[in-house]
Structures are given as structure tokens and as C-alpha cells.
Amino acid sequence: MDQKTFDKYVLNTYTRQPITIVKGQGSAVWDDKGREYLDFFPGFGAGNLGHCHPKVVEAVQKQLHEIIHVPNVYYNNAQGELAKLIIENTFDGQVFFCNSGAEANEGAIKLVRKRNPNKKTIITLKDSFHGRTIAAVTATGQPVYHDGFDPLPGGFEYCEANNVEMLKSMMNDGIAALMFEPILGEGGIVPITPEFMMTARHLCNDYDALLILDEVQTGIGRTGKLFAYQHFDVEPDVLTMAKSLGGGIPIGAFAVKRKYCDILKPGSHGSTFGGNPVACSAGVAVLKAIADENLLENATRMGDYLRAKLEILKTKYTIIKEIRGIGLMLGMELTIPGADIMQHCLKKKVLLNCTHKTVLRLMPAINVTKYKIDRVIRVLEDAINTQLAWGPQS
Ligand SMILES: *Cc1c(COP(=O)(O)O)cnc(C)c1O
């Protein structure tokens, strides 16, 4: 289909690049004109294994031939298997399945609200991102995402990321939960400090509140651990995930510590497609591939490699302000808007992302190789030089 026809029929809620992507394999995608691109932001965070990982394709195909959907009033093996794998790799508890990150966060919000009638308020962070449904968008601490959607649900308060004193001053017995990303993703790749993380955990213990970590973007091996909280000496009470969990197939989930597993009872929460066997068999294949192919180790090694290369660029160009992140979740903050640099990379067939206006976000597949990283660094340097020579392009 030509892009004009597409635009006539699809609601215009995204800033779309004029590229029709028709095929993907690993870190490569191809457009309808046969041009190949190196994708360093596969699936907008949903592509930790790259495109069309063969084990995911195989698992999904096998499941499609058996049964596509099973209602949640019956048992389905794939759902149980994925829940078991998630729990074995996190903490003792149980899992609820849904279809997206926003929905996972909605479920977590419902759980902590249901627990205690005197504790309803949830503290989230400024510049956070938790999704687009009405409660998740309210949890999102960025006014730009709220604009015009009022009335928003009440009971959300916003703390500055890594401001320990502010967090302490906001804490009281009416707080149901603290909810944040271990690394603010959309908010510009801002890692939470160990001090803030520990303080959050201790405050939750002291005030009988729950710690919800949103690992929709940081999870599934992105940072060199299966979940980013595993870099810290804490455990959350509720852990939300989505994006890469299905290897590109839509899925979301939250895991709950065992002692909070009886808050949501039969009838209190649900999702028609949540835990769908096709999505869950993809999830099982993803988690097995990460283990079998040593992808956590690769994410750590390639993360160090990419970071070192970016640090070298930083010593050469004063427009690079800071390199931030953990593992293969890296951001390069510029002193100028990053949109033109991103566009230049696109012309050179490298796909990156720019978030928070000035932060280039590099999140390649965690099975990426040094060779591909070197190519991206060359293109990025060329883009920076072009920017410096010609100034703003748009
Ligand atoms: C993308 C994202 C979400 C929303 O996920 P959807 O699947 O788009 O609903 C929530 N939280 C974080 C941290 C995200 O990066």
C-alpha cells in the first residue's frame, strides 16, 4: 500500500518516517524498495532479541498449529510455563498476564489500591513514562502527555528522580506505593541512583507501602541482567514488564511477591487476551534464548564496548554532554536537539531514536556484534560532523 492511502485511513497519532518496513532479521530491516537498514532501536524497545528471532518464530508457528486462543476460565500450558520462568528468574510470587506495558502498570495500580482502603496515593517520578491509558498516563510525570485529557484520575504525586530528600518529605501513611523505572527510558535514559533505590525500598518498608518497578523497557536482558533491579540490592513488590517479553508479539505482565498474591481475587481483574498461548509461547522462547545464547553476558560486553566508543566521541565533540545508561540501554545527551542527527543517520541507513529532544537513545538488540556497533559509531560521527558543518537541517 502507498503511504498516502495509509495516511487516509490510519489515525494520525504518530510522527512517522516515510519508510515502509516489510522485513526484518536480527539487527537488520528492509523497506519496500529493498533498502537495508541497521536497526539500533528495534521494535521501539520491543526488540531485545532483534527481529524475527528463529526460536521465537518456531515457537509461535508451533503454537499456531495447536490452538491460537484459550479463554482464561480454562488452563493453558504456555501461560503457566512463562509464569514459572518469570518467577524462577525474579522472586517468589505469581504473575498476571495482559497485552501491553500500560496495561501491566494499570494492573499494578489496581493491586496496590485494592490492598488497603486507607492507602490510595501513588508516588511516581517527574519525567517518567508509564503508558497511555488514563491511569498510566496520569502516573507518567510529564504534563505534555496529560494535556487535554482531563479529568485525570486522582491519587498520583510526582517526585524528582534521584531526589532522596524530596522522596522522604513526600512519604506518609496514606501512600500505597512508589512506582518508577530503574532507568527512565522515554524521559532521557536517566538511571536511578543506588541511594534513591535503597531509600525507596526502606521507605516502603517503614510506611507499609509497595514498591512497583516498571521494567517495561529496562527488562528482558536490556541492561545485562534479566531485570534492571537485579543491579541493585533491592527487590520490588510488584514488577511490570512488556515490550521485549514476546520477542515482538504483544504481551504484558506483572509479577507480585507471594505475600501480596491474594489481593486480586477471581473477578477483580482480568483480560480477554492476557496470557494468550501464542504470546506466552513467544515469551517462553525469548527467555530460553536469552539463557541458551548467553545474551545477558553479551549485553554487558557489547554495552561496555558501545559505551567506550560513545565516550571517545564525547572527548572529540563538545555538543556531546553526557553518556548515560546501563548495559545496552544507552543515551547520549547533546547540548542541541538530536532530531537532525537522527535524520542524518536514517539517510545513512541507521535507525536510532531521539527522546526528550536532546537524548539519542541507542538500544540495539542484545545479540548485537562489535562489527555493527563500529558501523553505527562511524555513521553517528559523520552525522555529528554534518550537523556541525551545516547547522540545523530543518
Ligand atoms: C513503553 C513503556 C510503557 C508502555 O508500554 P505500552 O506497551 O506501549 O503500553 C510503560 N512503561 C515504560 C517504562 C515504557 O517504556
What domains can be seen in the chain, in order of their start residue?
3-52+294-390 (3.90.1150.10), 54-292 (3.40.640.10)
Residue 390: which pLDDT band, with cuts at 50, 70 and 90?
Answer: confident
Residue type, 175: I
pLDDT at 344: 96
Overall residue count recorded for the chain in this entry: 394
Report how far ligand 1's centroid is from the alpha carbon of 378 (Å): 30
pLDDT at 62: 98
State residue 178 phi and psi, 5-degree precision: -105, 135
Nearest to 183 by CA among 51, 324, 280, 78: 324
Q: How many alpha carbons lie under 13 Å from residue 178 in its C-beta half-sphere?
A: 34
Q: Which atom of ligand 1 is nearest to the CA of 181?
A: 13
β-strand partners of 213: 180, 239
Report how far ligand 1's centroid is from the alpha carbon of 101 (Å): 4
pLDDT at 150: 97
Which residue ranges have their beta carbon within 6 Å of ligand 1?
45, 100-102, 105, 129-131, 181, 185-186, 214, 216-217, 242-243
Rounded to 5°, the CA angle 143-152-101 comes to 75
Report how far ligand 1's centroid is from the alpha carbon of 168 (Å): 27
In this prediction, residues 147-168 reach a mean pLDDT of 98
Q: For 247-272, what is each residue's pLDDT tens digit?
A: 999 999 999 999 999 999 999 999 99
What's the mean pLDDT when you consider all of the chain? 97
pLDDT at 391: 75
Note whether 54 and 44 are within 8 A (CB): no
Q: Which three cell numbers, joined as nine digits, stand for 98?
A: 495482559
In this prediction, residues 267-286 reach a mean pLDDT of 98
Other beta carbons less than 10 A from residue 95's beta carbon: 21
pLDDT at 393: 58
| 348 pLDDT above the threshold of 90 | yes
State residue 159 phi and psi, 5-degree precision: -110, 150
Q: Which atom of ligand 1 is nearest to the CA of 215?
A: 13
> Which string of DSSP letters, residue by residue, matches 216-259?
TTTTTTTTSSSSGGGGTT---SEEEE-GGGGTTS--EEEEEEGG
pTM above 0.75, yes or no: yes
In this prediction, residues 375-383 reach a mean pLDDT of 98
Note whether 265 and 272 are within 8 A (CB): no
3-class secondary-structure state, position 124 = strand
Nearest to 30 by CA among 18, 21, 39: 21
The protein residue whose alpha carbon is closest to atom 11 in ligand 1 is: 130
In percent, the amount of the chain with pLDDT more than 70 equals 99
Q: Which atom of ligand 1 is nearest to the CA of 217?
A: 15
In this prediction, residues 150-166 reach a mean pLDDT of 98
Per 3-state DSSP, what percentage of the chain is helix, strand, and coil (rounded to 5)? 40, 20, 40
| 394 pLDDT above the threshold of 60 | no
Pocket test residue of 145, 243, 254 for ligand 1, highest count of atoms within 8 A of CB: 243
Report how far ligand 1's centroid is from the alpha carbon of 185 (Å): 9
